[in-house]
Amino acid sequence: MKKVCVAGLGYIGLPTAILAAQSGLSVVGVDVDAKRVKNINAMISPIEEPEVEKRLGIVITNGSFKAQTHYETADYYIIAVPTPFTEDKRADLSYVFDSARSIVAVLKKGDTVILESTVPVGTTKLLTEFLSRETQLKSGTDFFVAHCPERVLPGNTFHELQVNDRVIGGIDRGSTRHVATFYKNFVSGDLYLTTAEAAEMTKLVENSYRDITIAISHQVASMAYEVGLDPYEIIELANKHPRVKMLKPTCGVGGHCLAVDPWFLIETFPKQTALLKAAREINDNKPFEVISRIEKKVQEWKDSHEKDSCTVLVLGLTYKANVDDIRESPAMTIAKELVGKKNFDVLVCDPHVSSSRLESLLANCKTTLVEGIAKADLIVCLVAHDEFKIIDKKVIAHKKVLDFCGIFHLGRKHSCDQEQFFWPASGIDSFEQDTIASYKLHEFGLIKEREKSE
């Protein structure tokens, strides 16, 4: 029976290890976090993912999988560790090469090393050279190396790890074939064989493309808010065009991929990535635009109610709906910034983030959905969790609601539905028709009669 050692038991490493074990391989999972390892062996998953604890229980019970903090000899080594970026937006590959140093101690002839972590173009070659230099083994003959990035949607990870097509890029043809043989154990999707550099760039281009499409939606939202229009209505109507498919704007872009990966291309190709950089800057700035709009509405609420205090309820902290992942979360950035304000009170609610974790992140601001709504003067929707979608509109009818994730956008059911109202009506700002008309008249030298007389 072939043996697999998976480095990194997070959102990708743990499901991959479980699937490999379920396919008939003997799997050891390695993580530097001793508490995480202990919980996994106790069949307690560190990640929120459908089926994960059920599947974990099966492979732990039958002995095909175990977790530990040290590496041991295997036939396949999978590196699935984080690759964040530094403060100056450069790739931090320390976790990858920490794993490589540990693999060096156990690597033997005939072994295969698979890099799943998303990395800048050229990293797999650097990894291969490091392993060869440290072990005195010859790559492509004594051992094999390839890059095979994941393509999964959190919340549907197990299904997508199995059915999605994979791109496998070896440092030579032999390595590519060895790794393709491994993935055939549990992947039913097509396997596309290429070079390591092509696989690295493909993964980064995929996520950069998605980042750019989100940036367009965010700019549409910014423009719509300026004139009091509902951006979700604008995008819904634009998508009626047969060749337009825009995404819904949110409060920003987060997660371990989209908010990070484009910077790897920008770092490597600074002269060819102006569009990618512009999109990144738009998406990175979105949370602060949202904060500014919230502050403006808080002040308006205070003025209209003639009060010095205002309680703001923040709904959602994760980087996307229905997951527990807060990595690079724009909602978390917004919540932390709001909590730091002194001119209003903040409550936060996220049913997917544990109470203890919420407490450690945002001190004494955590609340339940029911309690938060009861206390709030202003409700800010940042993440479209399913739990928020079923809020009774009557309960919040007298609250000021700012919807930055389209959770209350009703949509048009029929083409003749001309009297459709969107809730909250007209997005965030009222439509200042007279101001805009006046601006246009001045622009073209056409002054209203009333203005001439004045």
Q: What φ, ψ does residue 68 adopt, rounded to 5°?
A: -160, 175
Query: CA angle, corner 51, sides to 252 and 324, nearest 5?
Result: 25
Is residue 307 part of the annotated active site? The answer reads: no
Q: Which among 295, 300, 289 has a CA at the least distance from the CA of 223? A: 289
Return the structure tokens found at 446. 């056409």
Please, are residues 108 and 76 in contact by the beta-carbon 8 Å criterion? no
The C-alpha atoms of residue 305 and residue 292 are separated, in whole angstroms, by 20
The SS3 call for residue 318 is coil
The C-alpha atoms of residue 344 and residue 371 are separated, in whole angstroms, by 18
| From 203, 320, 366, 400, active-site residue | 203
- In the block, tokens 């994979």 appear at 166
Q: Which among 379, 345, 385 has a CA at the least distance from the CA of 362? A: 345
| From 257, 349, 381, 405, active-site residue | 257
Is residue 296 part of the annotated active site? The answer reads: no
| CA–centroid distance for 286 within its chain | 15
- In the block, tokens 């493909």 appear at 202
The C-alpha atoms of residue 120 and residue 196 are separated, in whole angstroms, by 11
Q: Report which secondary-structure segment, H or E, holds 156.
A: none
Residues that are catalytic: 203, 257
